[in-house]
Structure 1
Amino acid sequence: MDLDVFVMTHRAEWDRLDRLLRRGRRLTGAEADELVVLYQRAATHLSLIQSSAPDPTVTGRLTQLVARARATVTGTRRASWRDAARFLTEGFPAAVYDSRRWWIPTAVLSTLLAAVIGWWIGSHPEVQSAIAAPDELRQLTRPGGEYETYYSSHPAASFAAQVWTNNAQAAAMCLVLGAFLCLPVIWILFLNMANLGVGIGLMSSAGRLDTFLGLVLPHGLLELTAVFVAAGTGLRLGWTLIDPGPRPRREALARQGRAALGMAMGLALVLFVSGLIEGFVTPSGLPTWARIAIGVFAEAAFLTYVYVLGGRAARTGETGDVDDWERSAELPTAA
C-alpha cells in the first residue's frame, strides 16, 4: 500500500470527522449519522495502516481521532445537573403533555368505571354479601374501622415509603407491559378501579361515603393521575406496535419506548409526592377540607406544570425522547 496516496485520498474524511467532533452536541441528526459513518471508516483505515504500512505520525493521528469518535459515538458523556434540570423542566412535562390524548381518556373512562362499580356494589346487598360476611363488612366500614385505620396503621415515614414503592411499581408495569398489545395495562387498570369501586360501594352503603372520599382524595388525585398517565403511555406504546404510523415499526416503537422510560423516572417523583401526602397528610388530624385542599393543590400544581412547561416545550419540538446525537449511538460502532 502506498501510504502517501492513501493519506491524500482519505485526508478530507479525517479532517471532516475532526470538525464534527469539535462541534460536540451542536450536531444535527444528519451530521451525527455522518459522524458515525466517518468513525467506522477511520477505524478501518487505522487497521489497514497498522497492518500494511505502519507510520508513527499517521497512526498516532488516527488513533487519537478514532478514540475521540468512539467516546462520542458510544456515549461516554456523563449526565450532569443541567441534564436533570432540562429533563424536569422540558423533557418529562413535554412527554406527559404529548401523550395527553391517551391518558386523559384513560382517566375519564377509568373513573367512570370505578363509579359504576361503586354504584353497583352500593345498591345491591347481594353483591356486598358475596364480597364478605356482614360482620366483616361492618368491621371494614364502621367508624374507626379498617378503611380508616389503614392510613395510620404504620409510622408515617415507613407507610409513605411503602406506598411510594407499590405505586411506582404499578406505574412502571403499565409503562413496560404496554408493549404487549395493551392487554396487561387494561387488566392492571381494571384491578385498580375495581378496588376503588369496592371501597366506594361499601362505604356508601354504610352511609360513610364522605369519610371515604375525605381519606382518598388528598393523595388519590395526584396518585391516580400518575397511574393514568402511566397507563395511557403504556397503551400508546402498545398501539404503536399495532399501528406505527408513517415511521417504520421499529423506529416508532423505539421512540415511544425511550420516552416511556424517561416518563417512568418522572412519575416516580410524582408518586413520591403523593406518597408523602398519603403518609403524612391523609392520617393527620387536619380537618377534612384542609386535607382535600392539599390534594387539590398538588393536583392543580402538577397539571399546571404539564400544561405550562410541557406545552411550551412541546411547541418547540420536545417530545421527551433523547437527543439526535444520543440516538445515533444506537447504530453499530464496530469497524
Structure 2
Amino acid sequence: MTPSQFEKENEPRWQRLQQLLREVESNPKTAGVEEIPQLFRQACHDLSVAQHRMYGPRLVGRLNALAITGYRTLERRISGGWERLAQMIFKEFPQAVRGERGLFWFCMVMFWGPFLFLAAWTPFDPEWAMSILGPDGMIQMEMMYGKGTSPHDYMREEFGSNFGMFAFYIWNNVGIDLRTFAGGLLGGVGSIIIMLFNGAHLGAAVGYVHHACNPETFYAFVAGHSAPELMGVVISGMAGMRLGLSLVKPGPYDRKTALVLGGRRALILIAGAALMTAFAAVIEGFWSANPFPPFVRYAVGMLLWVVTLGYLFLSGRERPHAP
C-alpha cells in the first residue's frame, strides 16, 4: 500500500478524531465523546504502521501530533474523573445531607430512638434480647464479648483473616444500606421499618452486653468503626425516604418524573452512605480486629466521631466572598 492509499483509506477516521478532540475542548459532554478512546487507539496503530513502513515525515508527523493531542485529552478526562469523585465526596455528598435537614433528623430519631431505649432497658429486662436477638444471637454476643473471650479470636476463627473479615463486612453492611434504600420504593415505609429494626437490634445487643458480657471488650472493639458505620445507616435511610417521598408527594410533577428527580437526589445520598460504610468495613477488618490497647481504641473512636460529624456538617460549605 502506498502512502497516498494509506492516507486516503484512513482519512475519515483521522478527521473524525480531530473533530471530536476540537469539540471536547469546548464541551466535555459533546455527542460522540465515547468514540475517542477507540479512535485514539486506531490512530496510534496507524502511527506505528506509518513509522514501520517509512511513509515519510509529513504523514508520520501528522499522526504523531494527532496521537499526542488525543493522549492529552484522555489524560485530562481521567484526572477529571478523580476530581469528579473528590468533588462528590467532599462537597456534593455533605451538601446533599445538609440539604435534607428534615429527613436527617427524622431518620436520626427512627434509628437512635429504639437503639437508646433498648440499650438502656435490656439490661433490666433481658427478655427483650431474647425476642430481638434470639438464642443464636445471644450466644454469639457471649462468644465475642463474654468474660474471658476475645472478639479478635472469634473473628479470626470465623473468617480466617483480616481480609476475610473486611470482605464479610463490606457484603453485609453495604447490603443493609442498599436494602434500606430500596425500602423507600414502598413509599418510604420499608426504609422506616428497616431503620427501626436496625436500631432495635443494635440497641438490644448493647443492652445484652451490659447484662451478660464484658462492656469494656465490646466498646473497645466497636469504638473505631462505629461513627462511619452508624451514620451510614442513617443516611441510607434518608436516601430511601427521599425516594419514597417522591412517590407519596410528587408535588407539581407526575409520579414518574418526581421519582426520577427524587432518585437523582437520593442517589448521591446512598452512594455517600455506601462509601462511609465501606470505610467502616476497612477499619473493622484491619483495625478493630487487632489487639490494640483500649485507651488507643477509644481515642481513635472519639476522633472519628468528631471527624465524621464535622465532615457531614462542615465539608463543602461555600466560603463567604470578601466585600
Q: For this structure pair, what is the TM-score category when the shorter chain's length is used for normalisation?
A: 0.5 to 0.7
Q: Distance in 1 between matches of 2:300 and 2:279?
A: 11
- Kept after mapping to 2: 8 A contact 1:141/1:147: yes
| Residues 1:24 and 2:30 aligned together | no
| Residues 1:204 and 2:203 aligned together | no
| Deviation per residue, 1:176-222 (Å, 9 max, x gap) | 32121112212222332232122212111136333322222321221
Gaps of 5+ in 1: 1-19, 28-76, 316-335
- Kept after mapping to 2: 8 A contact 1:178/1:184: yes
| Residues 1:183 and 2:189 aligned together | yes
SS of the equivalent of 2:318 reads helix
Aligned to 1:328: none
SS of the equivalent of 1:143 reads coil
| Residues 1:143 and 2:147 aligned together | yes
- Kept after mapping to 1: 8 A contact 2:117/2:203: yes
Aligned to 1:132: 135
User: Aligned to 1:285, which of 266, 280, 291?
Assistant: 291
| Deviation per residue, 1:282-324 (Å, 9 max, x gap) | 22222222212222322322332232233439x9xxxxxxxxx
- Kept after mapping to 2: 8 A contact 1:96/1:310: no
Gaps of 5+ in 2: 1-22, 31-76
- Kept after mapping to 2: 8 A contact 1:220/1:274: yes
Shift of 1:225: 0.2
Higher relative contact order (CA 8 A, sep 6+): 1
Q: TM-score w.r.t. structure 2 length?
A: 0.64
Q: Distance in 2 between matches of 1:149 and 1:202?
A: 20
- Kept after mapping to 2: 8 A contact 1:151/1:278: no
- Kept after mapping to 2: 8 A contact 1:179/1:234: yes
Q: Distance in 2 between matches of 1:132 and 1:103?
A: 34
| Residues 1:194 and 2:232 aligned together | no
| Residues 1:275 and 2:278 aligned together | no
Shift of 1:229: 0.5
Report 1:222-301 matches (<5 A).
222-301=228-307
Aligned to 2:82: 81
Shift of 1:139: 4.9
SS of the equivalent of 2:186 reads coil
Percent pairwise identity? 25
Q: Given the superposition, is the C-alpha separation of residues 244 and 112 from structure 1 closer, same or farther in structure 2, using an over 3 Å criterion?
A: same
Q: Distance in 2 between matches of 1:218 and 1:237?
A: 31
SS of the equivalent of 2:289 reads coil
Q: Distance in 1 between matches of 2:276 and 2:260?
A: 24
Aligned to 2:69: none
Q: Distance in 2 between matches of 1:272 and 1:129?
A: 30
Q: Given the superposition, is the C-alpha separation of residues 126 and 85 from structure 1 closer, same or farther in structure 2, using an over 3 Å criterion?
A: closer
> RMSD value over aligned CA atoms?
3.5
Q: Distance in 1 between matches of 2:142 and 2:312?
A: 42
Aligned to 1:56: none
- Kept after mapping to 1: 8 A contact 2:225/2:284: yes
- Kept after mapping to 2: 8 A contact 1:237/1:257: yes
Q: TM-score w.r.t. structure 1 length?
A: 0.62
Shift of 1:106: 1.5
Q: Given the superposition, is the C-alpha separation of residues 138 and 88 from structure 1 closer, same or farther in structure 2, using an over 3 Å criterion?
A: closer
SS of the equivalent of 2:292 reads coil
| Residues 1:302 and 2:302 aligned together | no
Q: Given the superposition, is the C-alpha separation of residues 141 and 184 from structure 1 closer, same or farther in structure 2, using an over 3 Å criterion?
A: same
- Aligned-partner residue type, residue 238 of structure 2: G
Q: Given the superposition, is the C-alpha separation of residues 98 and 212 from structure 1 closer, same or farther in structure 2, using an over 3 Å criterion?
A: same
| Deviation per residue, 1:130-153 (Å, 9 max, x gap) | 6439x9486565224476644444
Q: Given the superposition, is the C-alpha separation of residues 25 and 125 from structure 1 closer, same or farther in structure 2, using an over 3 Å criterion?
A: closer
Q: Distance in 1 between matches of 2:122 and 2:208?
A: 7
Q: Given the superposition, is the C-alpha separation of residues 295 and 152 from structure 1 closer, same or farther in structure 2, using an over 3 Å criterion?
A: farther
Q: Distance in 2 between matches of 1:148 and 1:195?
A: 22
Q: Given the superposition, is the C-alpha separation of residues 282 and 125 from structure 1 closer, same or farther in structure 2, using an over 3 Å criterion?
A: same
Q: Distance in 2 between matches of 1:148 and 1:308?
A: 35
Aligned to 1:160: 166
User: How many positions carry a matched residue from both structures?
Assistant: 246
SS of the equivalent of 2:290 reads coil
